[in-house]
């Protein structure tokens, strides 16, 4: 059974592929700037739910839809959004250096047979980022389009002192939580087709 990942995220596509999920990838238009929530979990849930509603309008439910959103909260609870430019990325990354962050991912999976939603969090405690290393990362542009400019699978990896939660959640999609529901949906589909 094929699903539709309603996201341009390379990380999410990589995760689905790594876990053997058959999928197509189509982006959906949703304006996150309209969200007024200041609590990270509320924000990420509202964004992922909004993307799902937009995807249903755009694509229908002939193929199961998967929508997700991820935000990073600093130790003080401040939502660290995608950086607007290098200066903003530097500011956001300085907040994470020698500190703890929470990476919160919300997903919505919906087919004609079932709906599943989940919010998962992974906490990282980072050592202080080395100045030259940080500047090289900023110059690379790899931080662009990433919540909090954070790449736990890249730049941030060597600074991780401890972690609580799935790396997949931090990469934008808690696949381990999602897989049983995809399998259940597939069994329900097979059963329905068998009955006919």
What residues are annotated to the active site? 69
Question: What are the φ and ψ backbone dihedral angles of 121, each rounded to 5 degrees?
Answer: -130, 140
Q: Which of 54, 87, 51, 93 is nearest to 70 (CA)?
A: 51
Cα separation, 103 vs 14, in Å, equals 18
What is the enclosing helix (H) or strand (E) of 138? helix 131-140
191 burial via Cβ count (<10 Å: 0-12, 13-18, 19+): exposed
Alpha helices in 5-68 (DSSP H): 10-18, 40-59
Got the DSSP string for 166-189?
Answer: -HHHHTT--HHHHHHHHHHHHHHH
Q: Are 171 and 156 spatial neighbours (Cβ–Cβ below 8 Å)?
A: no
Report residue 9 as tokens: 């995220």
């Amino acid at each position: 059974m094929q699903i539709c990942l309603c996201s341009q995220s390379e990380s999410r596509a990589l995760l689905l592929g790594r876990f053997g999920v058959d999928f197509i990838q189509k982006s959906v238009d949703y304006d996150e700037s309209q969200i007024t929530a200041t609590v990270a979990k509320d924000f990420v849930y509202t964004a992922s739910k909004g993307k799902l509603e937009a995807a249903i309008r755009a694509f229908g439910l002939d193929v199961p839809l998967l929508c997700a959103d991820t935000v990073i909260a600093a130790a003080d609870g401040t939502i660290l959004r995608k950086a607007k430019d290098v200066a903003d990325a530097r500011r956001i990354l300085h907040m994470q250096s020698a500190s703890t962050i929470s990476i919160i991912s919300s997903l919505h999976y919906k087919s004609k047979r079932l709906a599943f939603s989940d919010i998962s969090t992974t906490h990282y405690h980072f050592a202080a980022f080395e100045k030259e290393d940080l500047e090289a990362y900023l110059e690379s542009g790899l931080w662009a389009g990433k919540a909090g400019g954070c790449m736990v699978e890249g730049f941030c990896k060597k600074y991780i002192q401890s972690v609580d939660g799935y790396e997949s959640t931090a990469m934008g999609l808690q696949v381990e939580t999602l897989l049983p529901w995809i399998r259940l949906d597939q069994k329900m589909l097979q059963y329905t087709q068998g009955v006919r």
